[in-house]
Amino acid sequence: MALKGLDIFKLSPKKNCKECGSPTCMAFCMKVAQGAVAIDKCPYFSDDAKAMLNEQTAPPMKTITVGDGLKLGGETVMFRHEKTLVNKNLFAVPVCTKMSADEVDTKLADMAKVDYERIGERMYVEFVYVKSAGDDADATLELVKKAMATGRALVLDIKDVEIAKAAVELCKDGKPILNGATPDNWEAMNAVATAAGVTLGVSAGNISDLYDLVKKLEGAGNKNLVLDVTADTAKETLANAVQVRRTALVDGDRSFGYPSIVRVAKLAKGNKMLQIALASMFTERYASIIVMEQMDYAAALPLYGLRQNIYTDPQKPMKVEAKIYPLNGADENSPCALTVDFALTYFLVSGELERSNQPVNLIISDASGMSVLTAWAAGKFSSSSIKKTFETLDIENKIKNRTLIIPGKVAVMKGEIQEKLPGWNVVVGPTEAVQLPKYMKDKEYEAAAKAAAAEAAAKAATTVEVKELSFDELLATKVPAIEVVDMGVKYGGYNPESSTFVTIGERIHCISPVIRKAMDERDPAPILKRAAEQIAAGATYLDVNIGPAEKDGPERMMWAVKLLQENFNNVPLALDTANKKAIEAGIKVYNRTNGKPIVNSADAGSRISNIDLAAANDAIVIALCSADGIAKDNEERMKHCHNMLERGLSLGMEATDLWFDPLFLVVKGMQDKQMDVLNAIKMFADEGLKSTGGLSNNSNGAPKKVRPIMDSALVAMAMMQGLTSAIVNPCDLRLMETIKSCDIFKNHTLYSDSYLGDRPDLL
CB atoms within 10 A of CB 664: 26
- Binding segment for other proteins (CB under 8 A), chosen from 67-75, 206-214, 494-502, 566-574, is 206-214
Residue 346 within binding range of other proteins, rule CB under 8 A: no
Minimum CB distance to other proteins smaller for 351 or for 359 = 351
Q: What is the largest CA-CA distance in the chain?
A: 98
Residue 81 within binding range of other proteins, rule CB under 8 A: yes
Show the DSSP H helices in 221-263 as ranges.
Answer: 234-249
- The site map against other proteins for 378-417 (x = CB under 8 A) is ----------------------------------------
Q: Return the ∠ at Cα 75 (arms to 668 and 81), rounded to 5°.
A: 10
Q: Return the ∠ at Cα 18 (arms to 16 and 19), rounded to 5°.
A: 125
- Binding segment for other proteins (CB under 8 A), chosen from 58-66, 127-135, 281-289, 604-612, is 281-289
Q: What is the DSSP letter of 660?
A: E
- Binding segment for other proteins (CB under 8 A), chosen from 377-385, 538-546, 607-615, 664-672, is 664-672
Report the residue from 344, 484, 616, 706 that binds other proteins according to the rule CB under 8 A: 344
Per residue in 232-269, is it b (16+ CB within 10 Å) or e — as a string?
eebeebbebbebbbebbbeeeebbbbbbbbbbbbbbbe
Residue 91 within binding range of other proteins, rule CB under 8 A: no
Q: How far is CA 178 from the centre of its chain?
A: 37
Minimum CB distance to other proteins smaller for 306 or for 448 = 306
Residue 225 within binding range of other proteins, rule CB under 8 A: no
- Binding segment for other proteins (CB under 8 A), chosen from 6-14, 236-244, 322-330, 355-363, is 236-244
- Binding segment for other proteins (CB under 8 A), chosen from 221-229, 298-306, 358-366, 457-465, is 298-306
Whole-angstrom distance, CA of residue 572 vs CA of residue 569: 9
DSSP assignment of 146-164 equals: HHHHTT-EEEEE---HHHH
Minimal CA–CA distance to 724: which of 679, 689, 675, 757? Answer: 689
Report the residue from 18, 235, 443, 759 that binds other proteins according to the rule CB under 8 A: 235
Minimal CA–CA distance to 544: which of 598, 493, 625, 503? Answer: 598
Q: Characterise 188 by phi-psi region: left (phi > 0), alpha (psi -120 to 50), beta (else).
A: alpha
- Binding segment for other proteins (CB under 8 A), chosen from 91-99, 307-315, 426-434, 674-682, is 307-315
Report the residue from 47, 55, 102, 208 that binds other proteins according to the rule CB under 8 A: 208
Report the residue from 86, 99, 133, 239 that binds other proteins according to the rule CB under 8 A: 239
Minimum CB separation of residue 81 from other proteins in Å reads 4
Minimal CA–CA distance to 504: which of 558, 533, 544, 548? Answer: 544
Minimum CB separation of residue 699 from other proteins in Å reads 12
362 and 339 Cβ atoms separated by less than 8 Å? yes
Type of residue at 293 = E
Residue 297 within binding range of other proteins, rule CB under 8 A: yes
Whole-angstrom distance, CA of residue 744 vs CA of residue 602: 31
Residue 563 within binding range of other proteins, rule CB under 8 A: no
Report the residue from 16, 76, 308, 700 that binds other proteins according to the rule CB under 8 A: 308
Minimal CA–CA distance to 528: which of 551, 555, 559, 496? Answer: 559
Minimum CB distance to other proteins smaller for 60 or for 572 = 60
Residue 298 within binding range of other proteins, rule CB under 8 A: yes
Any bridge partners for residue 64, and if so which? Answer: 72
- Binding segment for other proteins (CB under 8 A), chosen from 75-83, 94-102, 169-177, 505-513, is 75-83
CB atoms within 10 A of CB 270: 8
Please tell me whether residue 287 adopts helix, strand or coil conformation: coil
Residue 441 within binding range of other proteins, rule CB under 8 A: no
Whole-angstrom distance, CA of residue 366 vs CA of residue 375: 10
Whole-angstrom distance, CA of residue 195 vs CA of residue 712: 63
Report the residue from 24, 190, 283, 600 that binds other proteins according to the rule CB under 8 A: 283
Residue 284 within binding range of other proteins, rule CB under 8 A: yes
Residues lying near other proteins in the complex (CB under 8 A) are found at 79-81, 113, 118, 207-208, 211-212, 233-235, 238-239, 242-243, 246-247, 251, 267, 271, 273-274, 276-281, 283-285, 296-299, 301-306, 308-310, 312, 314, 318, 343-344, 347, 668-669, 671
